[in-house]
Amino acid sequence: MEAAEDVPNPAQFSEETAARIVSVKGLKDSWQKWSNEHQEYQNHNPFSHDTRPRVSAPRRGQGDYGRPPQGSMTEQRGREAQTHVGREVEELCEAIRTIGRPGDKDGRDGRVFTVEFGELFERYATISSKLVGLLLRARKQRLLDFEGEMLWQGKDDHAVITLTLSSFMK
More confident residue, 169 or 30: 30
Nearest to 162 by CA among 140, 141, 143, 149: 143
Please work out, in degrees rounded to the nearest 5, the angle formed at the alpha carbon of residue 85 by the alpha carbons of 100 and 113: 15
Cβ neighbours, 10 Å, residue 130: 15
Distance CA 70, CA 105 (A): 44
Give the full edge-to-edge strand order of the sheet including 144-145.
101-102, 112-116, 160-164, 144-145
Local structure of 20: helix, strand or coil: helix
| Distance, CA of 62 to chain centre | 20
pLDDT for res 158:
93
Interval 14-47: pLDDT, tens: 666 666 666 777 788 888 999 998 888 887 777 7
Interval 92-120: pLDDT, tens: 999 998 888 887 655 555 578 999 999 99
Per-residue burial over 60-88, b if 16 or more Cβ lie within 10 Å, else e, is: eeeeeeeeeeeeeeeeeeeeeeeeeeeeb
Interval 111-158: pLDDT, tens: 789 999 999 998 887 777 788 899 999 999 999 999 989 889 889 999
pTM of this structure = 0.57
Ramachandran class of 61: left when φ > 0, alpha when ψ lies in -120 to 50, beta otherwise:
left
CATH code for the domain defined by 92-168: 1.10.10.1540
Return the bridge partners of 164, or none. 112
Residue ranges of the alpha helices (H) in 45-130?
73-99, 117-124
166 — pLDDT class (breaks 50, 70, 90): low
For residue 55, is pLDDT > 60?
no
Going from N- to C-terminal start, the domains of the chain cover 15-44, 92-168
